[in-house]
Amino acid sequence: MKIAIIQPELLWEDKHGNFGILKRMMSSLPKGADVVILPEMFTTGFTMNLEYSEQIRGETLDFMKEAAVKHNAGICGSYIIAEGGKYFNRFAFVSPEAEYYYDKRHLFSMGEEDKFFTPGNSRLVFTFRDFRISPYVCYDLRFPVWSRNRNEYDLAIYVSSWPGVRISAWNALLRARAIENQCYVAGSNRVGTDGNGVFHNGMSQIINPRGEVTSLAEAEKQCVISSDISIHELADFRNKFNVLRDADEYEIINS
């Protein structure tokens, strides 16, 4: 499977402008890309302005469906969804064959995200082209219990708007999630300064189960990166060095 990450400089609260940026960047996708990963809140930037929410069957889903068909790939990222009188920072994965959704579990209280959005209460694992995939959104990365792999998934995807001031944590935690869960990890981030004055320097990356970075985006630059991942190499590594077999048992209790 070929993974591609688009690292854009997003326009602040400009959905159609960002659609245009992402369409242009998708024209540079590598041939045969199976999964194309966009950042967190890729239509608006990381805003708490609920005026930019939409129903799940809206413009953004149409944009993703069109891109999925055009590139014969799964397109994923998060955006703001209004549903049942509540608002969610919702990850969507859209392919020509299916759709999957996950609501961000850990809301960034220091940015008051928890005052506007409702947290998700369940993880998602789905299968796409032989890979079991588990998606997460930005701040979820800091909570290893939530993403703990008990041989449930092969690829973890983290879509993010991770600020440059904490980029060292981003680099360390992505590698840690790959190593401890014996899985591939893909982390997408954006670049540029948002409407709140928060600077993002990117550093999107793809990491193998040994914790080795196989593709790294250039800092502060719009770009597309990609890497091939192998389900057979992953199975061989897990068979030879089966850390997951010795993992602790636990239960997550939703509050």
**What positions carry a catalytic annotation?**
40, 104, 138
Please say whether the beta carbons of 170 and 204 come within 8 A: no
Residues in the chain: 255
Pairing of strands 2-7, 35-37: parallel
Q: In what order do the strands lie in the sheet with 126-128?
A: 126-128, 131-137, 155-159, 184-188, 205-207, 213-216
CA–CA separation, 4 and 227 (whole Å): 7
Q: Which amino acid is at 245?
A: R
CA–CA separation, 217 and 180 (whole Å): 23
CB atoms within 10 A of CB 170: 24
Please say whether the beta carbons of 90 and 102 come within 8 A: yes
CA–CA separation, 130 and 133 (whole Å): 9
In the block, residue with structure tokens 């890979």: 131
Distances (CA, A) of 2 to 35, 155, 175: 7, 12, 19
What single DSSP character describes residue 75?
A: E
